Amino acid sequence: MKGRIKKIFENADADAIIIMNGSSVDMTFFYVTGFESGLFENSAAVLYPDGSMAVICPELEEGAAGGKAEVFSNNKEKFELLKDKVSGERVGINSRAISHADFMKLKELLPEARFIDVDDAIRRARVVKDGEEIKRIKKAGEIASHVSNEIVPYLHEGVKESDILAEINYIMAKKGAMPSFDTIVAFGVNSSIPHYSTGEKEFEFPALMDFGARYGRYCSDMTRTFVSGREQSRVYEIVREGQEIAFDMMKEGVKATVIQNEVDEFFSKHGFGKMIHSLGHSLGLEVHDGFSMKEDFILKEGMVITVEPGIYLKDRWGIRIEDDVLVKRNGIEILTKK
């Protein structure tokens, strides 16, 4: 994945960059290695400015690495191997993903090194997707869209949230995808909690389903809410219009916060105040893949972003609509069918 590594170095003034996995894995590891199989906890990749890299991993990942990694069988060997791979004074790290414990170990291991935080360079490289990444996200989006169609007949009186979750994940799995996060099925009052954890409540409107597929490690993220009655329908219509406003504004060169503010103002005008979460976030190897629409960044061609306005009436119910879009020069392409 030479091109991706070079892209990171465009904004990173380092002699080498260490991508360090602890018990939590920096997904940048898969961005640079492209490994299709394996978990790669406690592994590392060392990147060089010419686009090359060295990968080290524990014995049990050797098969998944397919001969593209050097293997250690204990921590002592791990850090000896790692030390061997790092040359130069300026050593980049991804401060958001490396644990403080691992950073302290690197400092001890490389006493001569000057550590440079290349978190931003990594985020800026990863947020603009290349062809292979877009292909996979599109497929993940197609699978989520397929779910959103197939799930409708299962929604009826007496069905429980966990039943719908089971069907959603099943439809996805039959298409070769895992859920990209814990599927949310929230009926009635539970829909007022954006990050509700699916339970046993029986069917009631609104019926909110927030789910995503992970295909070839790349994620989609989609929300559909089914409503009933005049009040819910009115709010649904406002949320839908909020999404349209965002869609119409999105294209290369526009500031994310300008779009966020526009939708916030639209909801405020209708008496609902600002949203309690951001309008969306970039999407890729992770569901929250770098930036949220409340952060200071400018849309670029090749970014994939969720657009997920929501209105929540405390202790009553909530409505959210979420689709994934690919930013283009003059507009967007919606990756989840509407």
Using rule CB under 8 A, residue 273 touches a second copy: no
Which residues share a beta bridge with 281?
292
Q: Give the residues across from 160 on adjacent strands.
A: 202
From 6, 15, 39, 247, residue interacting with a second copy (rule: CB under 8 A): 39
Q: Count CB-CB contacts under 10 A for residue 264.
A: 20
* 152-191 residues near a second copy, rule: CB under 8 A: 162-163, 165-166, 169-170, 173-174, 176, 178, 182-183
The binder of a second copy chosen from 14, 18, 32, 93 (CB under 8 A):
93
36 vs 237 by CB, closer to a second copy: 36
Is 288 near a second copy (CB under 8 A)? yes
Could you tell me which of 272, 274, 332, 268 has the C-alpha nearest to residue 306?
332
H or E segment and range at residue 141: helix 131-150
Determine if 261 is a binding residue for a second copy (CB under 8 A): no
Q: Which residues of 100-139 are buried (b: 16+ CB within 10 A; e: fewer)?
A: eebeebbeeebeebebbebbebbbbbbbbbeeebbebbbb
- How many chain residues are in contact with a second copy, going by CB under 8 A? 58
Count how many Cα atoms sit within 13 Å of the Cα of residue 67 in the half-sphere of its side chain: 0
Site map (CB under 8 A) of a second copy, residues 201-240, x = contact: ----------------------------------------
Question: Is position 284 an interface residue for a second copy (rule: CB under 8 A)?
Answer: no
Tallying the residues shown for the chain, one arrives at 338
Positive or negative torsion for Cα 40, 44, 48, 53:
negative
Contact 273, 267 (CB under 8 A): yes
In the list 276, 298, 316, 329, the residue contacting a second copy (rule: CB under 8 A) is 276
For position 316 contacting a second copy by CB under 8 A, the verdict is no
Two structure tokens written together for 31: 């961005």
User: Judged by CB under 8 A, which of 142, 210, 264, 286 binds a second copy?
Assistant: 286
Listed residue (331, 278, 322) closest to 145, CA to CA:
322
Per-residue contact flags (x/-) with a second copy for residues 1 to 30, judged by CB under 8 A: ---------------------xxx------
Query: Residue 72 or 332: which CB sits closer to a second copy?
Result: 72
Which residues lie near a second copy (CB under 8 A)? 22-24, 36-41, 58-64, 73-74, 93, 95-104, 117, 119, 162-163, 165-166, 169-170, 173-174, 176, 178, 182-183, 192-197, 199-200, 276-277, 286, 288, 294, 312, 314
